[in-house]
Structure 1
Amino acid sequence: MSLYLCADCGGSKTSVVICDAQGKVVGRALGGPSNFAYLSLDAFLSAVEEAVTSALKIAASSLPSANLAILPPPGETPFAAAWFGVSGVDSPAAIATITPELSKLLKIPAGPRLAIANDTHLLAAPVRQHGDISHAVAVISGTGSIAVSFRETETGLEELGRIGGWGWMLGDEGGGFSVGRETIRHILLEHDKSSVTGEKVKSVLQDRVLARFGVTDVMELLTIIHIQDPQSGVVLPQSAPLHLSQRREKRLSDLCPLVFTAAFEDGDPLALTILKSAAAQLTEEIAVLLGDGSGRTVKPQDAVISFGGSLAGIEAYRQIILDGLAQMGHVFRYVSFVDDAAATGATGLVAAHVKP
């Protein structure tokens, strides 16, 4: 049995898709977060094993095989190849750390059958759908953010440059944490301005943020945002506010739905300003990769920009990013959104490994 597995490992979830040799999806499943930069090796492997096992169970229902859903496989591996796109895997050392563990888990030897790279590599696939270009810029805006440029060569995708992907403490501009941070910053800034002008801020978003944290004074947000992370093993009472059980970065990134709803459904000016501010930070990073095509720069007119991630999946937000790039003179020939990177990767594996 020859199965082809692709895992999209991100900060919010692990998405696994398994295809057969004909490129048909026979199993798919979701697991918990698997950003390698945020987790221990054991926690990362646990999330991957959970998602892969669940996908194998589904595959077993259409492809009956003894012990198909057991990892590591007790006999010969059913996997012909696997591709892992892992958020937080940004160095050869990180790849070297997880490669033997994933090899052991799937019983695939390290080498060409087991591809491990940053999750942006999964988004570069659309370059192969257009015969008139050979360059792609992959942009992830989800829990975190990163932009990577690629060139299609005879031997596969060559990474040209990258910007971002540094995690919430150092970057992730235009991602979930960035939007949450900008939300609190703008609410505090407007409050500070009103102390001078005497003009009260009227904002649907501000009201909802205050209500979410159970406060009525904007300045109380400072205390809530800076409360230390919950201690391991400490059980809070059921009546405790949600934010007390959240890590600080999660308190901020979880504000995203409030911001997007206020901006695009309620037309709240403050919410729209916040999204434009966050998007502008990501736009400036993407622009670092662009140029006239000389050296390792990408000429947008001869390339595809491919988006992924939950925030980039919202068309209105994606358009803000594209509009910002256009104002800089960067207009791409093609624009793509990959809403199922794991499936794209799995079918790509089949195309690369199965002779027609």
Structure 2
Amino acid sequence: MPLYLCVDCGGSKTSAVICDGDGQIIGRAYGGSSNLAYVGFEAFMNAIRISVGDALKTCVSPPSVEPVSLPPSNLTFAAAWLGVSGVDSPAAVASILQPLSDLLGIPMGPKLAVANDTHLLASPVQRYPDVTSAVAVVGGTGATAASFRKAVGQLEEVGRIGGWGWILGDEGGGFSVGREAIRYILARNDRDSVKRRGSLPLAKEGSLEDRILRYFSCNTIMELLNEVHAADPGSISSSAPTTQLTAPHLSLTREKRLSSLSPLVFSAAFENNDTEALAVLQLCAGMLADQIAVLVGERTEEQPGLVSANESVLSFGGSLVGLKVYRKMVLDALTEKGHVFRRVEFVDDAAASGALALAVRYKSNA
């Protein structure tokens, strides 16, 4: 029985899925973080070893309760596909190919595919005969997009944009939503302060301003600056006031303080119909659409890396674009730019989608 393995190696967890030749999932397990750039080689390999070994336990009858060593002695993988966060260059891929080949018992070659985890989001292109290309969009805390074309037995990446991290980019992701929300109310406060003398009106309950002020335990908008810029946990002086040391938002890094605001923005927008929150989401959705649009258009000799939207599947993945209302905002912004995709899909289980794509690919080649 051919077994197909797909491993989604993310910053928060590792997801390993095994399916048979008919595309039925027969094994699944999870491990810890496996972002190669963040955790390093040893922790990365250990996360793969644990997640794949645990997934293999359910591939035998009766399911094994004993640890499964790798490479497996009584089962073999027909092919494997690993999407690894923190792998952004051929050199990074090359550094882990041989160790993964040894660990999984798969010879180096086309049956062992290792690439950035964005590639897994493009896996639906293998299931649709009416599309020739894919644009994969990650929209969680961060944001990035990549375009792919079908090639013989594999996907060929032809373009990529974003994924620079929160300091340099991530426009359209959860961090971006939080940052733009703060910027929006700060800018409005500055404008109002110029126009008016004296105190400004109190924030309306449930509004974007009200929710953010309460989150940071602030009475006025300008107090937000100290809370947002306060030092990261671990670097706060022991002589700081007790209230500063125990404030919940100060237990988060500055990046997380902003990205954790995203749910508040959505609540203000869709529970209280707050115009400022809606404007922030429209702005951020437009930023993400702008990035996607860079990859899409008519392919020419001068622009050979573009893909046509009407011949492509747009695959979304990530917590933020998992929200239908936000996906619609992105799609509406793309439509305004003249880009309407033949198919649109949200991939909520990249490892399962990748394993199924492997089974479909090899079955069609049999």
Query: Is TM (by shorter chain) over 0.5?
Result: yes
Query: How far, CA to CA, are the matches of 1:338 and 1:183 in structure 2?
Result: 27
Normalising by structure 1, report the TM-score: 0.88
Secondary structure of the corresponding residue to residue 215 of structure 1: coil
RMSD: 2.9
Comparing 341-350 with 186-195, greater Cα deviation is found at 186-195
Listed as ranges, the gaps of 5+ residues in structure 2 are: none
Listed as ranges, the gaps of 5+ residues in structure 1 are: none
Query: Following TM superposition, by how much is the alpha carbon of 1:102 offset from its aligned partner in structure 2, in angstroms?
Result: 3.0
Query: Partner letter of residue 274 of structure 2?
Result: D
Q: 2:323 aligns with which of 302, 314, 324?
A: 314
Query: How far, CA to CA, are the matches of 1:265 and 1:31 in structure 2?
Result: 36
Partner residue of 2:36?
36
The superposition leaves residues 123-175 of structure 1 with CA deviations (integer Å, 9 ceiling, x where unpaired) of 22222333232121111111221111111133432111111111222111111
Query: Following TM superposition, by how much is the alpha carbon of 1:274 offset from its aligned partner in structure 2, in angstroms?
Result: 1.2
Partner residue of 2:161?
163
Query: How far, CA to CA, are the matches of 2:13 and 2:349 in structure 1?
Result: 12
Partner residue of 1:80?
78
C-alpha change, 1:215 and 1:137, in structure 2 (3 Å) is same
Query: Does 2:314 match 1:305?
Result: yes
Matches within 5 A, 1:102-113: 102-113=100-111
C-alpha change, 1:177 and 1:41, in structure 2 (3 Å) is farther
Matches within 5 A, 1:202-213: 202=204, 204-213=207-216
Query: Partner letter of residue 36 of structure 1?
Result: L
Query: Following TM superposition, by how much is the alpha carbon of 1:24 offset from its aligned partner in structure 2, in angstroms?
Result: 1.7
Query: How far, CA to CA, are the matches of 2:223 and 2:129 in structure 1?
Result: 56
Q: Is the 8 A contact 2:18 2:355 kept in 1?
A: yes
Q: 1:222 aligns with which of 203, 222, 225?
A: 225
Query: Partner letter of residue 250 of structure 1?
Result: K
Query: Following TM superposition, by how much is the alpha carbon of 1:60 offset from its aligned partner in structure 2, in angstroms?
Result: 5.4
Secondary structure of the corresponding residue to residue 296 of structure 1: coil
C-alpha change, 1:22 and 1:330, in structure 2 (3 Å) is closer
Query: Following TM superposition, by how much is the alpha carbon of 1:323 offset from its aligned partner in structure 2, in angstroms?
Result: 0.9
Query: Partner letter of residue 164 of structure 1?
Result: G
Paired residues, what number? 353
C-alpha change, 1:89 and 1:136, in structure 2 (3 Å) is same
Partner residue of 1:153?
151
Q: 1:270 aligns with which of 262, 276, 294?
A: 276
Partner residue of 1:325?
334
Query: Partner letter of residue 340 of structure 1?
Result: D
Query: How far, CA to CA, are the matches of 2:156 and 2:277 in structure 1?
Result: 38
Partner residue of 2:63?
64
Q: Is the 8 A contact 1:12 1:143 kept in 2?
A: no
Which has the greater radius of gyration? 2
Normalising by structure 2, report the TM-score: 0.85
Q: Is the 8 A contact 2:286 2:330 kept in 1?
A: yes
Query: How far, CA to CA, are the matches of 2:246 and 2:55 in structure 1?
Result: 36
Query: Partner letter of residue 139 of structure 2?
Result: S
Q: Is the 8 A contact 2:124 2:357 kept in 1?
A: no
Query: Does 2:344 match 1:351?
Result: no
Q: Is the 8 A contact 1:79 1:108 kept in 2?
A: yes
Matches within 5 A, 1:98-247: 98-198=96-196, 200=201, 202=204, 204-231=207-234, 240-247=246-253
Query: Partner letter of residue 298 of structure 2?
Result: D
Query: How far, CA to CA, are the matches of 2:153 and 2:104 in structure 1?
Result: 25
Q: Is the 8 A contact 1:11 1:144 kept in 2?
A: no
C-alpha change, 1:188 and 1:161, in structure 2 (3 Å) is same
Query: Does 2:337 match 1:339?
Result: no
The superposition leaves residues 248-287 of structure 1 with CA deviations (integer Å, 9 ceiling, x where unpaired) of 2122212222222222233221211111111111111111
Query: How far, CA to CA, are the matches of 1:229 and 1:76 in structure 2?
Result: 49
Q: Is the 8 A contact 1:26 1:62 kept in 2?
A: no
C-alpha change, 1:221 and 1:11, in structure 2 (3 Å) is farther
C-alpha change, 1:347 and 1:253, in structure 2 (3 Å) is same
Query: Partner letter of residue 11 of structure 2?
Result: G
Secondary structure of the corresponding residue to residue 162 of structure 1: strand
